[in-house]
Structure 1
């Protein structure tokens, strides 16, 4: 399918100068990308972006920079619809696997296997349920493996007023305090 619309992402303010980077996901890995594979994790609602970013601190929220993105991307699979799995040789259970635990044990998480198969078939991204603490069925994410500032998978941060810092140097003064 083609996804057109707005998505959201909550960033650590330190990295707000790279709002389109998948480098953090590549460095640490994620539910749908192993270490070394860039991914852009976004949410369909601003509240979901907040939940996703605060997973480690649900009772002590940390500062975040929330960005909105305009998206026009294809192909995108909606894996919140169970019928989407009919031809994939997978199931919704793969999405919810304990990916960190499996990766720590040196095992390939089913969610990574699914992502590998989908990216090999040219899929740009997937819509998936949020697994963040407190998430409801309304909380969904759009995870990109392919994105750029042009079609067929265009993802553009909304920053008409140029509020986001252009480089990391804006943080150098804060580090010296």
Structure 2
């Protein structure tokens, strides 16, 4: 089966714990702990298409007790993106919003493989660099969207650039020492 892919060009956002703002292109946290669309040991870069969604994603479970975050914007020019918001794409993959919105953390804690990890493995094996998918963070709506990347670099076809024209992001973790 050949999956229809698209090219994504535009701005995305990510809210970082300030301590890790010096590595805004790192997928190390996701690699270490896993995420909805990556198992531990596999890097992923989770971004959102708007500021509010980025904030809600970073505050998972604590939308009414916000913690300090550093908001970062990125310019993306990335090929090989699967749009999981497209019902035809979901059907071709035999997935639906229930599968995508599964309680992945609970499943992982029970040593059960979340269906979203299997989907991510399958898409990566097909050369898919990332996905467009709705956010399932508490407080988000059907219009809250994320771009999750498994392949990214500073060059096309999977380019992502930090927007920090005034060099405000820290360069090292030394500011926390």
State TM-score, norm by structure 2: 0.94
Q: CA RMSD for the aligned pairs?
A: 1.0
| C-alpha distance in 2 between matches for 1:86 and 1:50 | 30
Query: What do the CA deviations read for 1:77-102 (whole angstroms, capped 9, x no partner)?
Result: 11111111232233332211111111
1:82/1:92 contact within 8 Å kept: no
Partner residue of 2:87?
Answer: 82
Q: Does residue 1:50 correspond to 2:49, yes or no?
A: no
Give the unaligned 5+ runs of structure 2. 1-5
| C-alpha distance in 2 between matches for 1:94 and 1:119 | 18
Shift of 1:106: 1.1
Number of corresponding residues: 172
Question: What are the equivalent positions in structure 2 for 1:144-159 lying under 5 Å apart?
Answer: 144-159=149-164
Question: What are the equivalent positions in structure 2 for 1:82-101 lying under 5 Å apart?
Answer: 82-101=87-106
1:76/1:124 contact within 8 Å kept: yes
Question: What are the equivalent positions in structure 2 for 1:1-177 lying under 5 Å apart?
Answer: 1-172=6-177
| C-alpha distance in 2 between matches for 1:131 and 1:91 | 13
User: After the TM superposition, which segments of 4 or more aligned residues of structure 1 sit over 2 Å from their partners?
Assistant: 89-93
State TM-score, norm by structure 1: 0.94
